[in-house]
Every structure is written in C-alpha cells, then in structure tokens.
Amino acid sequence: MPELRQNILTGQWVVVATERAARPAHFFSSPREESLDSKDCPFCPGNEAMTPPEVYALRLAASEADGPGWEVRVVPNKFPAFAEGEEVRDSTAMYPRRGAEGAHEVIIHSPNHFSDISRMDEEGVEKVLRVYKNRYSFQSQKDFVRYVQIIVNHGVESGASIPHSHSQLFALPLVPPLIQEEIAGSLWHQKSRGKCALCAMVEAELEAQERLITKNRHFVAFSPFAARFPFEVWIVPREHRDSFEKMEEEELESMAFILKDVLSRYRERLDGVSYNYFIHTAPCDGSDYSYYHWHLEAFPRVTTPGSFEAGTLMMINITTPEECSDFLSGRGERISFKPGGEIS
Amino acid sequence: MPELRQNILTGQWVVVATERAARPAHFFSSPREESLDSKDCPFCPGNEAMTPPEVYALRLAASEADGPGWEVRVVPNKFPAFAEGEEVRDSTAMYPRRGAEGAHEVIIHSPNHFSDISRMDEEGVEKVLRVYKNRYSFQSQKDFVRYVQIIVNHGVESGASIPHSHSQLFALPLVPPLIQEEIAGSLWHQKSRGKCALCAMVEAELEAQERLITKNRHFVAFSPFAARFPFEVWIVPREHRDSFEKMEEEELESMAFILKDVLSRYRERLDGVSYNYFIHTAPCDGSDYSYYHWHLEAFPRVTTPGSFEAGTLMMINITTPEECSDFLSGRGERISFKPGGEIS
C-alpha cells in the first residue's frame, strides 16, 4: 500500500509508492526511440492477461472481458501510486503519514501499439474522452475521493514507462497544491474583478491573437502568457463550467478535434517529441467551485529543469509563449532555439 | 533583459529568459557521457576570454584577472535569467510582468575540466564554499535583492549545459515559493511547538538512525522522511542559524567534508549519476527570519517526473528514504530498484 508523507517544513504531502519501482524499464530501447516490438507489450491485444482484470472497456459486440475486441480498455495500474485498502499507519507529530487511499487506473487509448492521440482519428479520440468522463464519474462519487487527476505521459522523455499510448487516472484523497493555487486565484478574480479568470483569459487571447494556436466552436488553444514550459498550450472551453465532467456531447466532439490538432503540431513541428498533458478540473469534495473553469494543459519535453526549479519551485522558460505560438500556429518560423531536444 | 511574468490563475511568477536558449548544447556528446574535450570549454584555463570578465576569483599571486592562475573563478552568466538594468515594461491587470532584476553568476569550482565537488580535495571544496559566502554577501546587500539562491547542476541529466564543474548564484527580486512555504512552516513550528522544525528534525533523525547517511561535528546528513526524490539528502547544520552567510569558519570546513562525502556516495554507489544541489537560507529582504534554519538539499537524477508532478505539484517517490539511506550509508544493499538510471 503506497503512503502519503508530510514534509513538516513545507506542509506538502509526498506520495511514497515503492511498488512503482518495479515498473518495466526495458520498453524504450534507447533514448528518443520507441520500441518497435509489441509482442511483450502489456497494453496490446492478445496480452490482456499481462494486466490486472479490466474495470471498464469499449468493446465490439460479442467480445469478452480481458480478451481482444476492445477499442478503449481500462485496467487498474499494476504499480499503483494510490490504492484502496488503507493500512493503519503510525502517524506522529514529527512523522505525519497516512495511507495513499484512492485509485490509479490506466486507460489504454486503442489496440494500436504504434499510435497516439495525435495519430488516431477524431472518432477514436472522442471515445477516449468519453471513457475519461465515465471513469471520472465513477471515481469522483467515492466518499474519500477529493480530486480526480487525468494525465498522459507520451514518449520516453515524458516519464512514461510503456510506449503504447495510454492515459492515467488518479483518484486522490486530497486536493493537490497546484489546484489549490488555481482555486484561490479563481476565487480572487471572481470576487475582486467580478469575472472568471479563464473566461477573461479566453477573451483576451482571442483579442490579442499573439499567443493563439488554434480554436474551434467550443475551445480555444493558446500558449499562456506566463507559460512554465516552452510550447506549453492550454486548451480552454469557451463555456464556463467548473468540472470536466459537465462537458456536453457536442463539446466533447469539439475537444477531440482540438486535442488531436495540438498534439499533431507537437509531433509534426517538434520532431516526434515526448509530451505531457493533464486536465485541471474542480475538486469533487462537495464544496462549491462554480467560479472555477476546467481546462487541459499540455507541454512537450524539450528542456530539463534543474536545481533552480527544484529548489525554488519557480520555472525558468527559455522561450516566450508568443514565439512558441507563432511556431506552432504556423504564423512564423522564428524561434530562439532549435527544436528537437538539443537544449538541455 | 529577462522578465518575470505572473500567472493570474495561480499568482506564481515565471522567469522568461530567452537569452538562455542560446546556451551551448554540444558539450555533452551523448546522454550520460561527458565531453572528453576541454579545448573549447569556456570554463577551462586559457579560455577565460570565452566568458564575460570575471567579477571575483581566488588567484595565485601575480596572476592577472581573466587569465590563467585562478583556483575558483566567478563570472556573470553569459545567458542570464536575472540581470540588472531593468527596462520599463507595460504590465497590465491581465498580463502582469516586471523586469527580472537581479544577478546570475557562475562559480567555476576549479581549473580541472574532469573534476567535480566529489572528486576535489576538501581544501578545494572549502574554497568553493568561501566563494559562496563572499558572493552571497556581495549580492544580498543590494537593495532590490530579496533572496540569493545558490545551486549546482552536475551532469547532462541534471539540466547542466556545460560539464566543467560549476555552481550558479541567482540574486532574486522576490522570495521563491518553496522558501515561502519553508518559512511559513518554520514559523508555525516555532509558535505552536516552541521549537525550530529543523532543530527538532536533526534531533529526531540522530535518534531514529534509519534515515541517517553520515554526520560530523557540525553537520548531519539524512534522507528526509518526506523526500521528494529517490536518494534525496539534506545536509543540516547542528547549530541553528537562519542564514548560510552566518556559518563560522570551523563549520565551513566541516561542511566541505560532508558535502564531498555525500556527493561521493552518489558517484560511487549510483554509477556516476547526474546530481543537483541547492542551498536554502533566509531571505535578505530586511525581515526577521531568526526562526528559520538554513540547510542544503541534494538529489541524483534517477527518475523523470511526468504529468502527475507537473499537473499537481505533488511528487511521487518510488523509493523510501529509509531504503535509500540504508543504501547510501552502507547499512544495507536492499533497494527496490536498480540504480543507474534504468527507471524513467
């Protein structure tokens, strides 16, 4: 059972999950090169027995659980960072600890070992997003779950241990620090300026244009003014909703298009770079977060944070979001560093 | 001139420093392998003209500035993240920005291209620490400087762009988020428990033994209970002082020994791994931080944080500090993952 430990100096909680150390490390044969071999891949059809039994799947008629015939498949993470079945821990004032109670699921995007969200057709991406909603609803209803974090690590430099395209869902017993900061900021904007910060940001970015990447009927994709990472992109729904779960069907279809579009720009313009994305949504702890505005944040792995970032929690971004946006949108080709992972 | 931009959602500031994108990227010939070629190294003796003019150096008698004959050499960073000479910026409510006013220096540890702190003799490390104190004093006296961050990135996976062993000093116009959190926690401990958190921690770790790595007369090195990273080590002075700058000569000599010792354990036991360290000390903004306890934090680069960490600001540690401490101290060899960078 993984556990949460509190740093008594900062008050922050760290997940200690030694089970995760046993994750496979051999799937990426060399840096920046994806495994071409799918026969030992636990996420490929035919290898269903290599994962824990599935908890959900979109399946072709007449196919059976834990066999081939699925389009999207959800399984518990074999090496969980959060799990049910809390052991009692001896927490003290000096060493505060608790069980890392929650859930950690893997959402396998498609049977294709060589695909990813950027290469799938929009219909396939829609299915993945529908599965996100389904699993979000299931996990967020649990009493002890206060936040559900959905993420993707894709490519060896993203932190992924398996190349076959997949998402991870973490059901957490606490609201993470970054979400707490966004909530505090959103509340401040609502009270002091009478407006949602992200609604204002969408309006301002559509007006300013210079950080805009792409947009459609329901979403706007832009590189945020205070981007933490080169080529960071936020995909923000035009309609103000606190929770990802409340997105309507028409919006979901629209989101599939824009997500595939943004990740395709990473792949095509940044030489098949590794990337990360995560969804920020309102906590599910029973409080009112109607002033919060859910969104998705993505970034490619083109730089390596060092001691400054680890020691201060401040980021140094060696690009401007304006030039990154020019580059990703096709408005300009000028960029102050050569993409492709040359800078570390 | 680099600038600071504020994320209006979180309130956090990001440094936008496009000059840094021009840093050399060719010094590391391949991952995990350091350049064997020192003739183009800007930090090697004879190449002094490749850096901006030195601002400080420990020199042999009769040697001249910006020529060979130095033991430790300090130059302004050629690609600064903070600098003097602020331009006026048009900051608005929607786009808050200010100049990244401050300083960014490079402290070259020795003339030897193939050395690092772990390979230098203690006398050499002492000299580096004395230069830290000297530059800290110089920068912290400036009116607009509120915090001075000293760090080391060593090795290609640490975020370093140049292999020749060096430190970086950042004079900042603000107190970084992680320091703010430590200050808030320290104040809470002082007020609620009548004791400094780190004084209590040193006492508890000496008693518990299980996270202890090594100790000497003036310092204790242990892996903290809520370690963010595998093999994270804190080097904490036994004597309570708020600022690194107030360390006495005898303590400085003691610190040289323990710092070299800890980094030698990384090198010897973790296969020449890349590592990071940084000093946490009281801000120099004129307020009273007598309840704060300065220290140094180090960690090797054996894992790659992914979307979970970037999206939540919570860390998942795949080891326990107890097993890491056993491994580094030599008390035990059991470790739940094979060191050497195999896990990503």
Cα(A152)–Cα(A277) distance, integer angstroms:
5
Instruction: Say whether both B68 and B197 belong to one domain.
Output: no
Instruction: Say whether both A44 and A101 belong to one domain.
Output: yes
**Per annotation, catalytic residue among A166, A280, A293, A295:** A166
Cα(A319)–Cα(A339) distance, integer angstroms:
11
CA of B205 to nearest chain A CA: how many angstroms apart? 10
pLDDT of residue A335: 59
B228 CB neighbours in chain A (<8 A) are 7, 14, 310
Instruction: Say whether both B280 and B228 belong to one domain.
Output: yes
Predicted complex ipTM: 0.94
CA of B60 to nearest chain A CA: how many angstroms apart? 31
- Does the CB of A272 have a partner CB in chain B at under 8 Å? no
- Angle between the N-to-C axes of helices A249-269 and A321-329, in degrees from 0 to 180, rounded to the nearest 10: 100
Q: Quick one: how far is CA B327 from the chain centroid? A: 23
pLDDT of residue B39: 79
pLDDT of residue B26: 54
User: Does residue A195 sit within a domain?
Assistant: yes
User: Does residue A226 sit within a domain?
Assistant: yes
Task: Pick from A179, A308, A334, A337 the residue to mutate for testing the B interface (most B CBs within 10 Å).
Answer: A308
Residue carrying structure tokens 């331009």: B87
- Does the CB of A310 have a partner CB in chain B at under 8 Å? yes
A17 CB neighbours in chain B (<8 A) are 316-318
Tell me the pLDDT tens digit for each residue of B289-337. Answer: 999 999 999 999 999 999 999 999 999 999 999 999 999 999 876 555 5
Instruction: Say whether both B17 and B160 belong to one domain.
Output: yes
User: Does residue A236 sit within a domain?
Assistant: yes
- Say whether A11 and B185 touch across the interface (CB within 8 A): yes
- Does the CB of A167 have a partner CB in chain B at under 8 Å? no
Looking at A133, A157, A172, the residue that finishes a domain is A172
Instruction: Say whether both B73 and B187 belong to one domain.
Output: no
Tell me the pLDDT tens digit for each residue of A200-247. Answer: 999 999 999 999 999 999 999 999 999 999 999 999 999 999 999 999
Interface of A with B in 183-242 (CB under 8 A): 184-186, 188-189, 193, 197-198, 200-201, 204, 224-229
Average pLDDT over chain A reads: 91
User: Does residue B86 sit within a domain?
Assistant: yes
CA of A67 to nearest chain B CA: how many angstroms apart? 29
- Does the CB of A49 have a partner CB in chain B at under 8 Å? no
Tell me the pLDDT tens digit for each residue of A47-90. Answer: 999 999 999 999 999 999 999 999 999 999 999 999 987 666 78
| A9, A16, A151 ranked by CB distance to B307: nearest | A151
- Does the CB of A160 have a partner CB in chain B at under 8 Å? yes
- What Cα–Cα distance (Å) separates residue A337 from each residue in A83, A231, A332, B3, B162? 42, 12, 14, 18, 17
The yes-or-no answer on residue A240 being catalytic is no
User: Does residue B155 sit within a domain?
Assistant: yes
Instruction: Say whether both A42 and A97 belong to one domain.
Output: yes
pLDDT > 70: what percent of chain A? Answer: 92
Q: Quick one: how far is CA A191 from the chain centroid? A: 29
Tokens of B157: 């996976």
Looking at B172, B195, B224, the residue that finishes a domain is B172
Instruction: Say whether both A252 and A308 belong to one domain.
Output: yes
pLDDT of residue A1: 79
Could you tell me the pLDDT band of residue A27, with boundaries at 50, 70 and 90? low
Instruction: Say whether both B323 and B184 belong to one domain.
Output: yes
Q: Tell me the torsion sign for CA atoms B65, B69, B72, B78.
A: positive
Q: What type of residue sits at position A77?
A: N
Instruction: Say whether both A234 and A308 belong to one domain.
Output: yes
A186 CB neighbours in chain B (<8 A) are 9
User: Does residue B337 sit within a domain?
Assistant: no
Q: Quick one: how far is CA B288 from the chain centroid? A: 23
pLDDT of residue B20: 75
User: Does residue A343 sit within a domain?
Assistant: no
Cα(B33)–Cα(B155) distance, integer angstroms:
8
Instruction: Say whether both A146 and A282 belong to one domain.
Output: no
Task: Pick from A307, A320, A336 the residue to mutate for testing the B interface (most B CBs within 10 Å).
Answer: A307
B107 CB neighbours in chain A (<8 A) are none
| B94, B280, B316 ranked by CB distance to A17: nearest | B316
Number of neighbours of residue A333 by Cβ within 10 angstroms: 9
- Say whether A337 and B21 touch across the interface (CB within 8 A): yes
Task: Pick from B318, B319, B324, B342 the residue to mutate for testing the A interface (most A CBs within 10 Å).
Answer: B318
Contact A188, A284 (CB under 8 A): no
Cα(B97)–Cα(B5) distance, integer angstroms:
4
Interface of A with B in 274-303 (CB under 8 A): 276-278, 280, 297, 299, 303
Tokens of A105: 């699921």
- Does the CB of B18 have a partner CB in chain A at under 8 Å? yes
Instruction: Give the pairing of strands B3-6 and B97-99.
Output: antiparallel
Task: Pick from B182, B236, B344 the residue to mutate for testing the A interface (most A CBs within 10 Å).
Answer: B344
| Total-model pTM | 0.94
- The residues of B annotated as belonging to the active site are 166
Q: For A156, which residue in chain B has the nearest alpha carbon?
A: B344
- Say whether B315 and A14 touch across the interface (CB within 8 A): yes
A224 CB neighbours in chain B (<8 A) are 7
Q: Is the pLDDT of residue B188 over 90?
A: yes
Looking at A172, A193, A228, the residue that finishes a domain is A172
pLDDT of residue A35: 54
Backbone φ/ψ region at B288: left (φ over 0), alpha (ψ -120 to 50), beta? beta
Q: What is the CATH number of the domain that holds A12?
A: 3.30.428.10
Domain hosting residue A68, numbered range: 3-172
Q: Which of A99-113, A266-280, B86-100, B292-306 has the lowest mean pLDDT?
A: B86-100
Cα(B301)–Cα(B307) distance, integer angstroms:
17
Higher pLDDT among residues B36 and B90, named by residue: B90
Cα(B176)–Cα(B154) distance, integer angstroms:
22
pLDDT of residue A24: 67
Higher pLDDT among residues A333 and B153, named by residue: B153
Instruction: Say whether both A138 and A193 belong to one domain.
Output: no
| B9, B12, B18 ranked by CB distance to A318: nearest | B18
Average pLDDT over chain B reads: 91
Instruction: Say whether both B160 and B24 belong to one domain.
Output: yes
pLDDT of residue B118: 97
- Does the CB of B324 have a partner CB in chain A at under 8 Å? no
User: Does residue A275 sit within a domain?
Assistant: yes
The number of folded domains in chain A is 2
Q: Where do the H-state alpha helices sit in B141-272?
A: 177-193, 197-208, 249-269
